[in-house]
Amino acid sequence: YYLFSAGQVFVFIAVISVLIWFLHYDTGLDWNNADCAGKPCVFNYHPPMMVLGFLAFGYQGIMSWRMLPDGLSHQTKKFIHLSVQVSGFVLAVVGIVAVFKFHNQHQPPIANLYSLHSWLGLVAMILWGLQVVGAVVSFISGVVPVENRVSFVPIHKHMGVVLYLLALVVMLLGIQEKLGFYQGDKAYAKLTPISQLGNIMGLSIVAIFSVCTTLMIP
Amino acid sequence: YYLFSAGQVFVFIAVISVLIWFLHYDTGLDWNNADCAGKPCVFNYHPPMMVLGFLAFGYQGIMSWRMLPDGLSHQTKKFIHLSVQVSGFVLAVVGIVAVFKFHNQHQPPIANLYSLHSWLGLVAMILWGLQVVGAVVSFISGVVPVENRVSFVPIHKHMGVVLYLLALVVMLLGIQEKLGFYQGDKAYAKLTPISQLGNIMGLSIVAIFSVCTTLMIP
Ligand code: HEM
Ligand code: HEM
Ligand code: HEM
Ligand code: HEM
Ligand SMILES: O=C1O[C@@H]([C@@H](O)CO)C(O)=C1O
């Protein structure tokens, strides 16, 4: 189906953009340094990890049921879907740890959870975690009787799509916030190369948003 | 249906929040003043008009088909849906004119269209305008033969929902951006009363987002 592949192209653009942004235009990665002025620092792990974990792995995980060859057994597909989603979640957790570490170790410390981005980001993290736990308990652990499993599938699917959209929205807010930090005095706001890169990344995220709503909404 | 009414409550919270924010905490409205420092100014028309036009009128317009009493004729419902959507669009146009006027008349002038918010905002405006024109041409003008009208309905519905979600996302980005302007040096970022108000407004927009995805996705 063409839409899948269009989605893959936009996922690719978003991943490349975030890497160019934080490794090339910004100061690069250093897990042990919380001072970003001119030096590699721990904050710069946050955006790439979130984009890899949620946007890229999330896309492969959600689309895996439809992209994988029909020949594979349901068990195999389930194993792939599970592994991709769990790995993506682990990457995202690393990304969240990075930004809290950055705020706490910065001199002077930066407040945690002051922004709309961070509030919605925390909500998205928690619900994503519950989605993983809920799925593992009901589909893997064997604790839940088969009838109940079946009735949980539509809920899991619906929540999965809504959560993926929410994560995309949180990324857009993160981009908006971070680009604002590069503008000095807001009265002289300019469209700089870095804003163009960030805006293009944002447009590709919206494109993924549209592909997902179109594909997943029957 | 309970979800409609829950949605109405969140629409109400968002409208009240944006009014308290820009009339009470911020400096209030003055169409002819582009200097916001301590004085009422034209920028402050932008957020309330966008929220009224797109979020509030948009909600009533989209939900009108399902909320209006069954007794009304299709013609009457169509007229109501049309009037609400067209009025909402007019309010939103006023809101857009306000922010361009503000940027151009500000001393020194502020660049137009530098932010992710403004790029996606422009895209949302244009598509919303096309949606209105497309609907008027196909459903009202009589130019389009009835068979074609019928096949256009699902496209109109799907686009309508996706555009509404996009407008909500653009509002979240606008909130994130504007709250950033109140923070002085980001190293001292704080959770101020105004950020709390903005963040709560953002949470209610996300709640509307969830209500819409749940209601409109069969
Ligand atoms: C779905 C993906 C994402 C989630 C769940 C997320 C979550 C979070 C959370 C919870 C915080 C607060 C940390 C603290 O208060 O100590 C935060 C901070 C931050 N994030 Fe993200 N983030 C995501 C993606 C992004 C992206 C893509 C960017 C930039 C391109 C970004 C930029 C920032 C910035 C600049 C901060 C520090 C300022 C603040 O606390 O708002 N984030 N993020
Ligand atoms: C937070 C991570 C996860 C998200 C966002 C997610 C999302 C989704 C989505 C959107 C679908 C529907 C796919 C479609 O309709 O094509 C789905 C199906 C499914 N997922 Fe997940 N999932 C996650 C984690 C898991 C985990 C950890 C498991 C454990 C095995 C799992 C098991 C399943 C199963 C069994 C289905 C049903 C497939 C079917 O029979 O149609 N998911 N998931
Ligand atoms: C769907 C609703 C909205 C749309 C379509 C929209 C669209 C736009 C556009 C096109 C601009 C650029 C104007 C220019 O460059 O001269 C803009 C600017 C702005 N908007 Fe919005 N807006 C919306 C809602 C909001 C809300 C709710 C807020 C704040 C709570 C907000 C805050 C701002 C700010 C601070 C600017 C100036 C900075 C900039 O250009 O990014 N907007 N908006
Ligand atoms: C940008 C503004 C508009 C948006 C966002 C919008 C959105 C929608 C949505 C979401 C639906 C589906 C409602 C449901 O499934 O319950 C719908 C239905 C419809 N809209 Fe609009 N609409 C807009 C403007 C208009 C205009 C100007 C007209 C002109 C008459 C119109 C005519 C219709 C018609 C005829 C239907 C089909 C109702 C049916 O038979 O089920 N719309 N619209
Ligand atoms: O672009 C903008 O700059 C600021 C303003 O605060 C300058 O005083 C603002 O609100 C905008 O919309």
Using one digit for the tens of pLDDT, what is the confidence trace for B163-215? Answer: 999 999 999 999 999 998 888 765 556 788 889 999 999 999 999 999 998 88
Greatest alpha-carbon span in chain A: 62
Residue A16 CA to ligand 4 center (angstroms) comes to 38
pTM: 0.94
Burial degree of A5 (CB within 10 A; 0-12, 13-18, 19+): exposed
Residue B2: its pLDDT value, please?
A: 84
Of B20, B43, B46, the residue with max ligand 3 atoms within 8 A of its CB, to mutate for a pocket test, comes to B46
Residues B35-56 pLDDT 10s: 999 999 999 999 999 999 999 9
User: Averaged over B130-140, what is the pLDDT?
Assistant: 94
Residues A145-204 pLDDT 10s: 888 899 999 999 999 999 999 999 999 999 999 998 888 665 556 788 888 999 999 999
Mean per-residue pLDDT over chain A, rounded = 93
Question: B148: Cβ–Cβ under 8 A, 6 or more apart, which residues?
Answer: B138
Q: Check whether B123 has a pLDDT greater than 60.
A: yes
Q: Check whether A100 has a pLDDT greater than 90.
A: yes
Name the residue facing A213 among B120, B162, B214 (closest C-beta).
Answer: B162
B111:A187 CB<8 A: no
Name the residue facing B187 among A110, A119, A175 (closest C-beta).
Answer: A110
Give chain A's end-to-end CA distance (angstroms, integer): 15
Name the residue facing A198 among B110, B116, B175 (closest C-beta).
Answer: B116
Which of A46-60, A190-204, B1-15 is the most confident on average? A46-60
Q: By CA distance, what is A187's nearest residue in B?
A: B110
Q: By CA distance, what is A104's nearest residue in B?
A: B187
Mean per-residue pLDDT over chain B, rounded = 93
Nearest listed ligand to the Cα of residue B33: 5
Residue B218: its pLDDT value, please?
A: 59
- At A133, the pLDDT band (50, 70, 90 cuts) reads very high
Q: Are B182 and B194 in contact (CB under 8 A)?
A: yes
Q: Check whether A94 has a pLDDT greater than 90.
A: yes
User: Averaged over A67-75, what is the pLDDT?
Assistant: 92
Residue A43: its pLDDT value, please?
A: 97
Q: By CA distance, what is B114's nearest residue in A?
A: A191
Q: Check whether B34 has a pLDDT greater than 90.
A: yes
Instruction: Respond yes or no on whether the N-terminal peptide bond of residue B108 is cis (omega within 30° of 0).
Output: yes
- The ligand 2 atom nearest the CA atom of A129: 1
Instruction: Respond yes or no on whether the N-terminal peptide bond of residue A154 is cis (omega within 30° of 0).
Output: no
Q: At what angle do helices A146-182 and A116-135 cross, to 10 degrees?
A: 160
Residue B143: its pLDDT value, please?
A: 86
